[in-house]
């Protein structure tokens, strides 16, 4: 079935097709095409059962001194979907991406609680411990957030050390049977928080993988062509599993991205302040958003039509 046709299909099949769209790798990063498929469904089921979710995001571009356009939009897409489902969500980031999240939330008219991680690592660790104690998350999601490599540093895809602009949040992902929450990670290059479970098998297929690939593992790992697509895909999968449309339209996503760019966000690949994500123009980037949105709305429409009594369909 092509997306948006309104043909009824099993939820699992639709989720797999959404994941296939999010795994497109037009930038040739080399991660999503090599990672095993089938991660989106289990991750979405976990979030459907969640109650309190911390979403960690924000990837500072050093030369610009501010966060990039990949990360905050996807985090807001996911957090918005969770809120509609009645979950409690808090955003976790640093001073370089907090302004982007605030502008985005204001643009959407849906303010979120947010934790800004201080630059000194000891203070950031203490802030994360306080978050765990006070918020008591049932789930923690990392979406396009630098994660620590085996040497303890956070790296850009170019191999730049980012420790001074990206305090580590890895302590939320340290395997610990007593920690009390499930971890999920979304990334597109391997250097993102939570990608550690893929490190041994996929580091050889990523540029500078031996150096930059994150060591901290997540319980559920979703590799995508662009991390924003992963947040959007999770919201779409939750839509299909819950039966409620939890996605904003691609046009609304464009307006959100434009608001963040106006606030200073830059493309992480080109380092330019432009309406683009990871080197893709809006038009190229939106192809995947449109595909996911049309597929999701088509499935929901077909489900509603299939559940209508015969008399209501004019028979």
In the prediction, which pLDDT does 125 show? 97
How confident is the chain (315 residues) per 10-residue block, as mean pLDDT?
Answer: 52 95 93 96 98 98 97 98 98 98 96 96 97 97 98 97 98 87 98 98 95 98 98 98 98 98 98 97 98 98 80 52
Rounded Cα distance, 217 and 280, in Å: 28
pLDDT of residue 2: 40
Strand-by-strand arrangement of the 88-94 sheet = 113-117, 88-94, 52-57, 139-143, 182-187, 220-223
Q: Are 58 and 143 in contact (CB under 8 A)?
A: no
pLDDT given at position 179: 87
Where is 18: in which H helix or E strand?
Answer: helix 11-22
Gap between the Cα atoms of 74 and 204, Å rounded = 27
pLDDT in the model for residue 121: 97
Question: What is the per-residue pLDDT for 177?
Answer: 76
Query: pLDDT tens digits for 68-112?
Result: 999 999 999 999 999 999 999 999 999 999 999 999 999 999 989
The class of domain 11-306 in CATH terms is alpha beta
Per domain, the residue ranges of the chain are 11-306
pLDDT in the model for residue 265: 98
The CA distances from residue 307 to 10, 99, 133, 244, in Å, are 14, 44, 44, 14
pLDDT at residue number 3: 43
């Amino acid at each position: 079935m092509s997306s948006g046709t309104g043909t009824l299909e099993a939820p699992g099949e639709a989720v797999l097709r959404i994941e296939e769209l999010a795994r497109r790798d037009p930038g040739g990063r080399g991660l999503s095409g090599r990672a095993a498929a089938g991660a989106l469904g289990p991750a979405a089921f976990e979030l459907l059962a969640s109650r309190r979710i911390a979403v960690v995001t924000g990837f500072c571009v050093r030369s610009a001194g501010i966060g990039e356009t990949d990360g905050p939009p996807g985090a807001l897409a996911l957090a918005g979907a969770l809120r509609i489902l009645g979950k409690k969500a808090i955003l976790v980031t640093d001073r370089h991406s907090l302004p982007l999240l605030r502008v985005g939330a204001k643009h959407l008219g849906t303010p979120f609680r947010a934790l800004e991680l201080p630059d000194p690592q000891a203070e950031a660790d203490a802030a994360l411990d306080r978050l765990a104690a006070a918020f008591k998350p049932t789930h923690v999601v990392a979406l396009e957030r630098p994660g620590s490599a085996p040497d303890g540093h956070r790296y850009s895809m170019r191999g730049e050390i980012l420790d001074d602009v990206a305090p580590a949040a890895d302590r939320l992902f340290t395997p610990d049977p007593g920690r009390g929450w499930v971890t999920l990670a979304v990334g597109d290059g391997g250097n993102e928080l939570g990608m550690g479970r893929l490190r041994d098998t996929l580091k050889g297929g990523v540029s500078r993988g031996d150096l930059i690939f994150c060591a901290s593992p997540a319980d559920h790992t979703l590799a995508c062509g662009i991390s924003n697509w992963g947040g959007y895909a999770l919201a779409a999968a939750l839509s299909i599993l819950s039966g409620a449309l939890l996605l904003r339209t691609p046009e609304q996503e464009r307006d959100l991205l434009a608001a963040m760019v106006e606030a200073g966000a830059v493309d992480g690949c080109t380092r330019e302040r432009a309406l683009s994500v990871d080197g893709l123009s809006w038009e190229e980037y939106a192809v995947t958003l449109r595909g996911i949105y049309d597929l999701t709305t088509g499935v929901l429409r077909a489900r509603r039509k299939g559940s209508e009594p015969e008399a209501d369909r004019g028979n």
